[in-house]
Amino acid sequence: MAMSYTAVTVGASGWAGRRDQPLQGALVPLRNANAARFNWLRTPDFSGTIVNNNRVLYKADASSPEAPFAGALVRVHRLSVDGWCAWQGLSDASGYYWPVGLEVGLAYYPVAIDLTGTHECDAAGPVIAVKAD
């Protein structure tokens, strides 16, 4: 007596399909694109920001002091299995950047990029997001 079964696969988008039968119709996108990133056992607090290590500085050469870098593109990536970019913005005239909407208590890596191509990009961290005041 032979036994048979139908294998079910789940793709990266979370869509389940059977191997022995192709999916019919069009795939419908999730209403919330970030739904797969959340742990539904708890409600995440997205009121976080970074209050330390939130300044972009540069050195003209090895012996010069650090100076604020205005206009750097800063991307804040979540330190987890996905490295998701949680925030992106520019540094102000004093080199500071103020990310919002980070999940409180999680670790992030800020990456600063010089859009003129004069300086190498650099990362800092990890930093922990704290509740914004």
Closest listed residue to residue 67, CA positions, set 81, 57, 75, 77: 57
Task: Please state, in angstroms and as integers, the Cα–Cα distance from residue 94 to each residue in 67, 68, 70, 120, 123, following that order.
Answer: 9, 5, 6, 19, 18
Mean pLDDT value of segment 56-72: 91
d(CA 128, CA 53): 10
pLDDT in tens, 77-91: 998 878 899 999 999
List the structure tokens of 111.
Answer: 């990456």
pLDDT in tens, 104-121: 999 999 999 999 888 888
Query: Cβ distance 50 to 40 under 8 Å?
Result: no
**The pLDDT of residue 53:** 78
